[in-house]
Structure formats: structure tokens, C-alpha cells
Structure 1
């Protein structure tokens, strides 16, 4: 089980790498596509990227084989659809609120606020599901917030209405992580994700239909960013995430996935030729140290039974 947890944690860090790079491609796509159009096309591409694997695994019945030996209740029918719809609304709400806030808000400050879900996840986990978080993870969360502050905030910190929208998005993303942790052992992952992505893409598409315009020239110019964001940023990473969260606690998963801020900054240096200050490099270093810290081997406290008198 420990080996599975370690591999799951490594997989979640890989998700953070892809999402960090995805921010760069999303920035490029925003020059040609409206926010809702981008979200809609991105998630529809995510669905298309999953369909070959979906039909292959359905045909080979590999999903059942993956669950062999696991005595868990499988969700079907209305329970499955309600779970998928709940996850879709949480994911879509977060994406929309971020886009609303980013219309005016500073991108680096927005990145710091959005990453606050790493602290919200264990709090909500305790309130909703009565699950406690270890002291090690709380220390890791504190380290990550310090690193994020050094990486993202340089001119002081204040909040306005647009920042509040981004802050509200953190609640949606925290709920999404918790819902996936709750649902992942009880649903077939691929059908669940196909339904969620279709709902997210359709909701965004309906809004885009009435608020945004799309031309063939703009769509052609955004093909490469869309392919990366849809196939890798949705299809691949979300598949990894829902399987990995079967073996990783929600609070640890949130902490590892928040590393996307680091990989976004490093990707900006490599791809966009941006530069980072010493302060920002220190922030990146603290964030990376956090990854190693939360995965260091540690002993669970041993409970000693009281000695009964003879």
C-alpha cells in the first residue's frame, strides 16, 4: 500500500507539471478565444481524448479487473449521475470564477489566492467527512503558502472584487478535490470523467454561445494550445488524478497539485524567456522542498495499552 501511495503522489506531481505548463498555453489561447469558448473546447477535447481508452477498457472489461479484490460498493444509476453532476458543477464553478477574476486581477496574485485551496481542503474534509489531517501535512501546507507568497506576491497584498471571485473559486476547487476523493473508490473512473467533462464543456458552451464569438482564423491560431490543454491538461491529468486519489489523502493530493505554480513559473522562464527574481526562486525552492518533506518516511505514534494490575 505504501508503494501505491508513493507512486500516486508522484503521479499527482506529474499532473502539477502538466497544469503548470498548461497555464502558458492557456495564456496563448486567450489571445484568440473567449474564456467560455476556451473552457468548452478544452473539455470537449478532453472527452475525445478519453473515448479510445474508454471503449478499449469497456471491451476488455479492464475496469472490473482493476477492482478485483477490492470490496467496495459500486455506484450505479441515479447515484452515479448525481455524483458526476456534483463534480461537474464544482469544477465548472471554479473555472468560471477564475476567468471572471483574471479579467482584471493580477495573474500572479490570482495564482497565490487560487492555491489557497491547499488549506481549505483539510478544513472542509474535517467539517464534511470528519477526516483529520496529520501534523506533517499541516506543516507542509504552511511551507507551501510561504513559498507561494514569495513566488507570487512582490508589491504587497490587498483584495478587491475580482480577487474575491478568485478566492471563491478556491472553494469550488477544494470541493472538487474532496468530491473526487469521496467518489473515486465507488465509480468507474472513465465513464465518470466522460460525463463530468461533457457537463463542464456543455455549460461553458451555452454561455459562450450567447456572450462570445468565434472565427475560423481564431480557432486555427489556437489549435496547438487547445490540443495541449484538452488532451494533456484534461484527458491525461484528470485520469491520473482520479486513480491517484484512491491511494492519496485529499489534503496531500491538494498540496502536491498546488506545485503547478512552481512549474508554471519555471515553464515561463524556459518557454517564454521570462525571468525570476531571487525572491521568486527561493519561493520555488521552498515549494519543491515541501514535496520531499510530506513524503519522508515517518513512524506512526504507537499507542501503549495500559498495564493491568495482576
Structure 2
């Protein structure tokens, strides 16, 4: 079972890593808001049959156990997650337009280090290993992003903001996921994200159906595979598995995004940028190592 779960999570990370390529290619045809609107609404629609199938096989006692409080948490949680996902995914989408797929993948992976830092405000202490990981990630970001003196590319800043927003998104999910059904929470957040992304898309980009149909491949991949399939695989894969090991496997999406950008788009990283990637990945691993608790 653990091997099967690990393979499912590795497949999830692979789908998410390749999704960076789909996001980059999609921007050649449609605007960022339009892309996120389409992928989120498709992701929400894909999860509807999953929810129906799971509801059909669940017992009536389990359904009765979920009272009005659980439904309230589901709605508020879906709304909060949807707003954060909308902000994070749009910052990421526009950031990818001005940077490479590999750099975007690694900078986004900073959320694994940022989460324990933000957890300090929730009175969750960090071990010395976490602070060392933070220092390493800063050094890796410097090598990866700051190429000419102290200048940072516009795309790098946008993706870094996205990483901070995804950190809050993870903390919100961590709060609501034990209380509600994960697939339903995901479906609602994708719906909220799609609706909120659609507002600026209609105002600023005025999407045309012909352009959306032209970009059907990256949009469909990001919607069906990245949102719908990958999230469901994550839920199945993380069942009865050590969350530390699970998050470490999922963080491989950053490495896969670099490989996907190199294989599919022909994007290259300099030796300095590769060194930054290696240091950041080492920080990601260090941040996920289990620590012994003091008696």
C-alpha cells in the first residue's frame, strides 16, 4: 500500500509539474484571467461526478453525521480557499509570462518553507532545521532570480507573491480539511476561483470563444488533469500515509517543471540558476524532515 500511495503522489506531482508548461503555452492564445477562469470552471465540473460517485457509495449514517455546522464550514472554507486560489493562481499565471517554467516551479515551491514561518503567527514553533531551510531558500532564490546585480525580474516577483498566497491557502485548507469533505471543498474553491477570475477577464480581456477553443489543449490539461484528476489522486494517495513523506513527494513538482520546460519548451537554465534550484530543493527536503519532540 505505501508504494502504491507513493506512486500516486508522484503521478500527482508530475501532472502539476507539466501544468506549468500548459500555463505558459496557454498565455500565447488567451489572457491570464481567461485561462484561469476556464481551467477552474472545468476543474469544478470534473469533480462533480466524483462527488456523485462518492456520495452514492457513502452510508446514510455518514451523511446524517454531517450537520448544518459541517455544511457551513464547507461553504466558508470553499469561499476562503477559492479567493486565495484565485489571487495565487493569477499572480502565478502572469508571472509565468515573464519568466521560465522552471524558475516559476521552484519559486512556487517556496510555500513549503513559508508555511512554517506563517505558522509562527498561529503559535506554532519552528525548529532550527526550519530556519536553516529558510536561509538556504533565500540563498537559492538569490542565485535563481537575481541575475544582474540586485535586479529581480517582474515574473519572479509575481510568482514569489503567488508562493506567499499559496502558503495562506495551505494553512486555510489545513484548518478546514479535517472538518469537511476534501473533494467537495475542492469543487467549491474551483467554482469560486473560476467566477472571480471571470470578472476581470470580461472587463479587461474580453475573451473570445475562438481564442479559448484555439487554446483548448493547455486549458483542458490544466482544468481536467491539474485541477480535477491530480487533486483526486492526492486525496487517495495521502490516505494512511505519513504527511511529511507525502508533501516531500508532492514538492517534486518543482523539479518536474524544470524538466518539462527543458523537454517540451526547450528552455535552458544557466549554471548559476541550476545551483539555485539545487539549493532550494535541498531546503525543501530539510524543511520536511521529521524532528524529534522534546519531552
TM-score in terms of structure 1 length: 0.75
| Deviation per residue, 1:76-98 (Å, 9 max, x gap) | 13232111111111111112334
Shift of 1:236: 2.5
Contact 1:37 1:208 in 2 (8 A): yes
- Could you say which residue in structure 2 is the equivalent of 1:158? 151
Select 1:248's aligned residue among 243, 267, 272. 243
Distance 1:63 1:14 in 2: 33
Identify if the C-alpha distance between structure 1 residues 216 and 138 changes in structure 2 by more than 3 Å, giving closer, same or farther.
Answer: same
- Could you say which residue in structure 2 is the equivalent of 1:61? 58
Q: Which structure 2 residues correspond to residues 9-28 of structure 1 after superposition, within 5 A?
A: 14-28=11-25
Shift of 1:238: 3.0
- Could you say which residue in structure 2 is the equivalent of 1:226? 219
| Deviation per residue, 1:25-82 (Å, 9 max, x gap) | 11111111111110011011111221222111110017988xxxxxx99951323211
Structure 2, unaligned stretches of length 5 or more?
none
Identify if the C-alpha distance between structure 1 residues 287 and 113 changes in structure 2 by more than 3 Å, giving closer, same or farther.
Answer: closer
Identify if the C-alpha distance between structure 1 residues 287 and 190 changes in structure 2 by more than 3 Å, giving closer, same or farther.
Answer: same
Identify if the C-alpha distance between structure 1 residues 75 and 270 changes in structure 2 by more than 3 Å, giving closer, same or farther.
Answer: farther
| Deviation per residue, 1:232-259 (Å, 9 max, x gap) | 211133334567499536xx94x76554
Select 2:163's aligned residue among 156, 170, 193. 170
Distance 2:263 2:124 in 1: 40
Distance 1:143 1:14 in 2: 27
Identify if the C-alpha distance between structure 1 residues 37 and 14 changes in structure 2 by more than 3 Å, giving closer, same or farther.
Answer: same
Contact 1:42 1:226 in 2 (8 A): yes
Q: Which shifted more, 48-57 or 31-40?
A: 48-57
Distance 2:6 2:128 in 1: 18
Select 1:38's aligned residue among 35, 47, 71. 35
Q: Which shifted more, 220-229 or 29-38?
A: 220-229
1:300 corresponds to 2:295:
no
Structure 1, unaligned stretches of length 5 or more?
66-71, 304-310
Distance 1:268 1:167 in 2: 19
- Could you say which residue in structure 2 is the equivalent of 1:83? 77
Identify if the C-alpha distance between structure 1 residues 96 and 270 changes in structure 2 by more than 3 Å, giving closer, same or farther.
Answer: closer
- Could you say which residue in structure 1 is the equivalent of 2:210? 217
TM-score in terms of structure 2 length: 0.78
1:97 corresponds to 2:91:
yes
Shift of 1:23: 1.2
Distance 2:79 2:262 in 1: 38
Contact 2:103 2:258 in 1 (8 A): no
Contact 1:122 1:133 in 2 (8 A): yes
Shift of 1:148: 4.5
As a proportion of its length, which structure holds more helix? 2
Shift of 1:116: 4.0
Shift of 1:139: 3.4
Identify if the C-alpha distance between structure 1 residues 120 and 282 changes in structure 2 by more than 3 Å, giving closer, same or farther.
Answer: closer
| Deviation per residue, 1:199-249 (Å, 9 max, x gap) | 111111122122223334322321111121111211133334567499536
Select 1:236's aligned residue among 217, 229, 232. 229
Q: Which shifted more, 73-82 or 180-189?
A: 73-82
When Rg is computed on C-alpha atoms for both structures, the one with the higher figure is 1
Distance 1:300 1:240 in 2: 30
Matched length: 291
Contact 1:13 1:256 in 2 (8 A): yes
